[in-house]
Amino acid sequence: MNKTPIWKSIALSLTSDIAEGRYQTGDRLPTEAQLAATHGVNRHTVRRALSDMADQGLVHSRRGAGVFVATRPTEYPIGKRVRYHKSISASGKMPGKKILALTTRAADEAEADALGLETGDTVHVYDGLSLADGQPIGLFQSVFPAKRFPDILQILTETQSVTKALQRCDVPDYTRISTRLTARAATATQALHLHLSEGAPVLFSIGINADPEGNPVEYGRTTFAGERVTLTLNED
Amino acid sequence: MNKTPIWKSIALSLTSDIAEGRYQTGDRLPTEAQLAATHGVNRHTVRRALSDMADQGLVHSRRGAGVFVATRPTEYPIGKRVRYHKSISASGKMPGKKILALTTRAADEAEADALGLETGDTVHVYDGLSLADGQPIGLFQSVFPAKRFPDILQILTETQSVTKALQRCDVPDYTRISTRLTARAATATQALHLHLSEGAPVLFSIGINADPEGNPVEYGRTTFAGERVTLTLNED
DNA sequence: GTCTATGATTTGTATAGTTGTATAGGATAA
DNA sequence: TTATCCTATACAACTATACAAATCATAGAC
């Protein structure tokens, strides 16, 4: 793993503050003591960062007065922009999809609980990969109750779209009744599928979709590539 | 004939010291050198024991400072609509906030855009740490337009709560009009604050809150410890 | 109004202590 | 053999504390 010294991370943070205009040339930075408190470190560690920035000519300090912004960084590494914004409500409507597996098996406890089944009831499972511009952005698994949707796997081979498949199963519309989100580290297999390195941050989402009557129809788990995806939650 | 490694017995001894309350949460343990001397072993052997205890979440060490008894690890859900305070105390945990910094500075492009200001307009900034049972779960930054809320920093020193501070600024209620979420790797300073190791997955959230008239009042950025936080989105 | 004294604030410097990491090597058991 | 456990040494990174030196704001004297 990367072992960035803390002072370097602080220097980078302050440099970006200057680069993005939060502190402008001539402005006084917060005092060393304040910066130390903000970053949760000792004052000397802040001084190490400021010293580095002073060497680069970004800031200059005057004893008793403070630290002032000298110039804006000429060359600041702009973070890779996140390219794909995906709305959480538009789960099944992604541009590209690749079917990885279509299986029928017994439901585990979490799945049964979410779908209102008994543990061991059979479910149809759709494993797939979401793509955008040919790049993998999400690894998903959709679980459907087999009893209610006996032919859904067959239909999915034709449409690949969960929304359309459910429509052809007499579920014209569905809504998300529950979502849980957390950040995790990519496992080896996830990394492989999503073209990430193992341990890279991924966004893990668990959601339950239900028909207009409130009966759960799909239990979905998705792992998004953190580097390439931003979820936008739109409240109407 | 003792088959158990020395480090394991040291770890056990220290663990029972903690269990019996000889060292309480937050207390600093004796230095590695002292522990090595009292146990009559090399410092590295002590480190092996401490490393094992750290893996179990019993202790937490800070370079240069010492080894401290860790607060017990727990998981906390957070609602999207529900205010932080409410959702945490509903799960039976003691919520808390720690002010890291209160600053006034120029708005960068993103902040100005979100709050409907011009780049360079002054904003008030609240940097803080969200805690639950003393355990850090999120690192946040709230940005307010200085023109509309000239005294908000003063108020925040008293309440620490964004909701209450806005209430005292004649914003009785506000709603989230935009949320963006992604997974990232913790930087060195974030890791320090959140008691994670560098590169650990964190959940990064950018949100805009607006008053009932739709005028943006707060631009917030939060970094959640992925290990300890699950966001649950309750769509009504 | 201007000058000056004073005290608080802020940066600069010094010293010592503590944890993190790297390297090397000996002892013991599978 | 190989792996694990433990020792030994050295240095880097960070913390803690204290004090000195420069700056600034303010009050009081003139």
3-state class (DSSP) for residue A34:
helix
Domain A6-69 has CATH 3.40.50.2300: no
> Would you call B181 and A184 a contact, using CB atoms and an 8 Å cutoff?
no
pLDDT of res. A126: 93
Beta bridge partners of B202: B184, B225
CB contact, 8 Å: A28 with chain B? no
Domain A84-232 has CATH 3.40.1410.10: yes
Residue A108: count of CB within 10 angstroms of its CB: 12
A134 pLDDT more than 70: no
Q: Which of A4, A23, A203 is closest, CB to CB, to B198?
A: A4
Q: What confidence category does residue B2 fall into, taking pLDDT thresholds of 50, 70 and 90?
A: very low
Give the CA A64 to C1' D29 distance in Å: 27
CB contact, 8 Å: B104 with chain A? no
Residue B137: count of CB within 10 angstroms of its CB: 27
Q: Are B231 and B144 in contact (CB under 8 A)?
A: no
- For residue B108, the chain A residues in CB contact (below 8 A) are 20-22
A168 vs B179: CA distance, rounded Å: 33
Phi, psi of A16 (to 5 degrees): -70, -35
pLDDT of res. A32: 95
Query: B67-99 burial by CB neighbour count: b if 16+ within 10 A, else e?
Result: bbbbbeeeebebebeeebbebbeeeebebbbee
> Would you call A233 and B179 a contact, using CB atoms and an 8 Å cutoff?
yes
Residues 186-225 of B with CB under 8 A from A: 187-189, 192-193, 197-203, 224
Domain boundaries, chain A: 6-69, 84-232
Q: Provide mean pLDDT across the span A161-165.
A: 85
CB contact, 8 Å: B118 with chain A? no
Percent of chain B at pLDDT exceeding 90: 33
Residue B175: count of CB within 10 angstroms of its CB: 12
Q: Which of A13, A30, A226 is closest, CB to CB, to B189?
A: A13
For chains A and B, count residue pairs whose Cβ atoms are closer than 8 Å: 140
- The bases of strand C with some atom under 7 A from any protein CB are 8-15, 17-23
pLDDT digits (tens, 9 = 90+) for B106-160: 998 899 999 999 988 999 999 999 887 777 889 999 999 999 998 898 899 888 8
Q: Are B47 and B32 in contact (CB under 8 A)?
A: yes
Single-letter amino acid code for the residue at A147? K
- Residue that the structure tokens 């190791």 belong to: B197
In CATH, what is the architecture of B76-232?
3-Layer(aba) Sandwich (3.40)
Residues 37-96 of A with CB under 8 A from B: 37-42, 82, 85, 88
- For residue A232, the chain B residues in CB contact (below 8 A) are 178-181
Q: Provide mean pLDDT across the span A143-167.
A: 89
A178 pLDDT more than 70: yes
The pair of three-digit structure tokens given for residue B4, joined into one six-digit string: 């158990």
B184 vs A196: CA distance, rounded Å: 13
Q: Provide mean pLDDT across the span A117-126.
A: 91
Q: What does pLDDT average to over chain B? A: 83
